[in-house]
Structure 1
Amino acid sequence: MAVDWIGYSYAGLVTAGGIMGYLKAGSVMSLVAGLLFGLLAAVGAYLASQQPKNVWVSLGTSGALAAVMGVRFINTLKFMPAGLMTIASVLMLVKIIVGMTKKRPNKAL
């Protein structure tokens, strides 16, 4: 079982972004969303670490963040935080999809 360090790092980035949004702008919504999505990303990384094919929580979390932050980036054209989170979420989606399409060797019985 390989630990999904990239997934855990992504969860930390999402959580840190929510905390920074709260500290810099006083946005309670950023704090709540950052903590919620950070927790979901961490749970997804844990599940993927336990069973590599169990990527659905990670896929949903990064997909939702890519969509929401992508729209926000298009509307504001501000790299921080929307552009950074869009790029990170799209990269996470690519990582998950590539991992899903990899053929894993069958274990002999």
Structure 2
Amino acid sequence: MAVDWIGFAYASLLIVGGIIAYTRKGSKISLAAGLTFGSVAGYGAYCVTCDPRNVKISLFSSFLLTIIMGMRFKRSKKLMPAGLVACLRIWAPERFSATLSSSTPSRTGLFPRTISQPSAASPGPASGPS
């Protein structure tokens, strides 16, 4: 079982960033957002650690935070923190697609395979006298 160190590092950066924003600027919103998104990203990294194909939570959190911080960067034109956070996780889909393509297929996930094959014991359709 390979640990998703990159995901855990990203989650801790989000939490630390929220705490730093609160201590420097007194921003309770930044603290709440840092703790919330850091926790969700940490849980996503835990899910990827348990099953490398279970990337839904990590992709959702990275997508949502990239959109939010990208809009903040576009509005403020300041690299810190919005531009940095948006750029840090914009490559997440590429990393997870490489993970998904190299792992073995699993039966759990968004679209599990449910192919039913007739068993050898069943005689097939009954053909009676007509």
Q: Counterpart of 1:104?
A: 103
Structure 2 counterpart SS, 1:68 = helix
Partner of residue 23, structure 1:
23
Structure 1 gaps, min length 5: none
Contact residue 8 and residue 41 of structure 1 kept, 8 A: yes
Range moving further from structure 2, 89-98 or 5-14? 89-98
CA distance in 2, matches of 1:77, 1:23: 23
Deviation string 1:26-69 (CA, Å, 9 cap, x unpaired) is 10000001001000000000010000011111000011000000
1:91 shift after superposition: 2.7
| CA deviation after TM superposition for structure 1 residue 105, in Å | 4.9
SS in 2 for 1:43: helix
CA distance in 1: counterparts of 2:32 and 2:93, whole angstroms: 22
In structure 2, the gaps of 5 or more residues are 106-130
Residue 75 of structure 2: aligned partner: 75
Name the TM-score, length of structure 2 as normaliser: 0.76
Distance across 2 between alignment mates of 1:79 and 1:46: 29
Q: Does 1:65 align with 2:65?
A: yes
Identical amino acids, percent of aligned pairs = 42
Structure (1 or 2) with the greater helix fraction: 1
Flag the structure with more relative contact order, 1 or 2, with Cα contacts below 8 A and sequence separation at least 6.
1
